[in-house]
Structure 1
Amino acid sequence: MTAVRHLDQAAISWQRQGIVPAYAPELGQEAAQVGSALAVDPRRDFVFPTYRELGVALACGVDMVEYMSTHKATWHGGLWNAAEAHVAPIQAVVAGSVLHAVGWAHGQTLEAHGEFPEGGYSVAITYLGDGASSQGDVHEAMNFAAVFKAPVVFFVQNNGWAISVPTERQVAGGSVAARGAGYGIPALQVDGNDAAAVLTATRRAVAHARAGHGPAIVEAMTYRRGPHATSDDPGRYRSLEDERADGGADPLVRLRERILADAADRPAVEATLDAADAAAAAEAEQVREGVLALGPRPGAEMFDLVFQEPTDELLRQKAAWREESEHE
């Protein structure tokens, strides 16, 4: 969580410095992201993120330079190998990741050919916000997953805002978890600023799906402490006083206090935490250097990676592009 905080804040600075053109901060959501990511088995389960899951990607072992390549506009979705990392590419379409996750999870049941696999199903976990939950894709995904008992966990980060619209103005009833009953999906609502509580709740949801009981919903109640994106000005729709009043306990401060309260040797543990903080700052600087070193990708890739077998029209466009841009 400390590494996520440092990298997240550094990425905002990189955007202001012109190193990356855009970034979606996650300040305040570190416990929700890291706690949930640590509940899945990266060797068999599959993670389907949105554009704000830097903490999830880091916790799952994704190379952060390859992750930030999307924010630098070097590569759409990230340069890491999604098949090896079991973390899908960054999804910029709001609620788009839920459809992909349900499709992958349903595929696990189809491959089992009606027989429950030894060790249970591999599980998909998909991330969405309270704003995304109002998209029709989420209804379709939850309904389909429930009907076919797809082993998928819908992890909702309810951070209080759908860009500039507060939850109460766009989620009827104020809770996404409450919708689960309409689909016959069990749902848990948890304090999203408590890393241990998020980890426990997500483990329960993953175990439910792995056991063949179908999908589950976890709604982590947290708060987006910064802007929706670096292009957003939250001062236009909320005040600093509102942020302080509604933000709740800082998840990092909360976890640090809990660790120190339980420590048998407080000075030693405090020194370990301070060392982790220093290491996180150094790691963020290494990522910055890696991002600066990222060069442009070959332009031909925008034609080569569209279809498995390119169409005649696509080949014609590629040839025209080369003639115009490369003088070939």
Structure 2
Amino acid sequence: MSIHTVHRSQNHLAWDKTLAPILNIQSGETVTFDCLDASNGQITPTSLPASLATLDFTTLDQVSGPVHIASALPGDTLQVDVLSIETAEWGWTGLFPGFGLLQDEFAGDTPALRIWKIDRESGLAVWEGGEGGGTALKVTVRPFCGEMGVARGLEGKWSTIPPYNTGGNVDTRYLTAGSTLYLPVEVEGALFSCGDGHAAQGDGGTAIETPVKVSLRFTVLKNKPYTKTPHFHARNLPAENEYYTTTGVDPDLKEATRAAVRHMIEFLVAEKGLSRVDAYMLCSVAGDLRLHEVVDMPNYVVGMMMPLSVFAS
């Protein structure tokens, strides 16, 4: 089986179906992506908070690719298996006034930057305290790519900042090594890209940003017409079940939530043989609704997570 590589310099700043692919592969092949952090290399382990004032925001959240997958056609589903992901030995978290869920409450604050040391052997990210000292913090490292998506079928260039029904900046912390992402294909070849490495993140939030090397295997599926937004099969979750998750992506939080449930009903009917009524009741009894991404406007990502243990014989 062929293994291909996408280098750090091979990236772009918009989802655009007219972009020429930097790599052409067959279904079933594996690609390793070497990705800069979301600052596009502008923040380094020695950066200070003042560095945020000079950031070129037009180059943030770049994604590496695109990769053309042969036989992928509109209406298909692209299965993306996360085989491995490795962080750098450092990461950063920033506060940008006027950005995020509480942007109005922090609009008057000065930019803030925290540099984390990542110990890959222990699996911990360590922040040694704020300016002039402060409490040291340790966070368990569970790396994933915040950006994983395919080109939109719509005309034009679409910012990599928000998430879309085709993926992109979904910032979903469950897409760690061992998990599988499913994306709806809207253009010939799919044109997949990824980036925005995260060492750790809570549901809905921002992350410890870090450069990553990630290996992904791509498979074109022809029999999953219910995949209209990103779906994923989450594995390797500490003290949790395996989950199959459907998402809703919408600028209206309620509509995103309704869509996530609706897509789960469609999945349960198609794959588990339930009636729509039984599927709806199961969502209420066993499904977990979670806010996966709430900071990259205008769209929210809400997940309906179904524990697969409910189907155990």
Normalization by structure 1: what TM-score?
0.23
Structure number with bigger Rg: 1
Which is richer in helix?
1
Which is richer in strand?
2
